[in-house]
Each structure stands twice: as structure tokens, then as C-alpha cells.
Amino acid sequence: MTTDPINRKGLGPRFWERKPLTKMNQREWEALCDGCGKCCLNKLEDEDTGEVALTCVACRLLDDETCRCTQYDIRHQFVPECIVMKPNNIDDHAYWLPQTCAYRLLWEGKPLYEWHPLISGTSDSVHAAGMSVQGRTVSEFETPLEEWEDHIIEEPS
């Protein structure tokens, strides 16, 4: 069992079912992250259709074993284009978030999955359910951009 880097203790029971995303405090907002690592995968967006394809090409800062950013607090120094999800920008970014992402699910009015750490009580449940990218990524440094299409993956739901 790994130590959860997100402090989920002491939050209101099932707060996400009673509180809109825009009314959550910072701790509640951060607790929604399930730690799957999918948001740190590079995506390809079709310019004509707007369809987003997920690849297994990981951001240079993603730790493939923990599914966490190795430089979370200072990631913009290394990856300036990394988007910080916030209640005030979710409307602009929810479309590219993983289909199983709590932020996207709640934004769409859907419930969280049983494997989500807020429900299961453990951060390992996302890995046990096969919903994380643990051990499944390739490096963006070793994968030329023109080969990213060869690494498109179907997202489990």
C-alpha cells in the first residue's frame, strides 16, 4: 500500500455529491484527483472534429510507477503548457480530461466510480482496478511526435 500524497482525511462525507465544483475549497478540489495519471498523457486533438485521442506518451515529469508528477509544485518551470485545473476553468478543459476523471464526471453530472480513493478509502484502488497508467507509458523524449499516433490508446471506462 502506497502513501497517498493527497490529504483526504477529515473531509465531509461524500462532499462531492452535495457541493458543486465551483463551491469546493482547495482541499476538496485536490481530493477529487484519483491519481490515475491519465491527465499527464499527451493527447492528440483532431483540428476538424475536436475529437481528443489519448496516447500512452507520458509527460516528461510523470512517474510511471506512482502515476504522479515528479515536480508537481514547480511543474510550470519545466512544462509551461501544463494546465492547472480549477473550478473557474473546467468548462474550457473538461472535454480533454480522461473519461474516468472525477472532475469530468462531476462536471457531466455523473457519479464517481467505486474504485475512486474517496469511495474506496485507499489511493491504490485506482491501480488495482486497472484505471491508472501505472507501468503503461512511453517517454515523450524517446517517442518522436510523428509517432504519437502509433501510441493512441483506448481509455478504459
**pLDDT band at residue 11 under the 50/70/90 scheme:** very high
Name the band, by pLDDT with cuts 50, 70 and 90, for residue 157.
very low
- DSSP collapsed to 3 states, the chain: CCCCCCCCCCCCCCHHHHCCHHHCCHHHHHHCCCCCCHHHEEEEECCCCCCEEEEEEECCCEECCCCEECCHHHHHHHCCCCCCCCCCCHHHHHHHCCCCCHHHHHHCCCCCCCCCHHHHCCCCHHHHCCCCCCCCCEECCCCCHHHHHHHEECCCC
Question: 47-72, pLDDT tens digit by residue?
Answer: 899 899 999 999 999 999 999 999 99
What are the pLDDT digits (tens) for 115-137? 999 999 999 999 999 999 999 99
Query: What's the pLDDT score for residue 1?
Result: 59
* Burial (CB count within 10 angstroms: exposed 0-12, middle 13-18, buried 19+), residue 154: exposed
The model's pTM is 0.90
Q: What is the pLDDT of residue 7?
A: 85
Q: How far is CA 11 from CA 15, 24, 26, 52, in A?
A: 7, 11, 11, 33
Which residue do the cell numbers 484505471 mark? 131
**For residues 90 and 24, is the Cβ–Cβ distance under 8 A?**
no
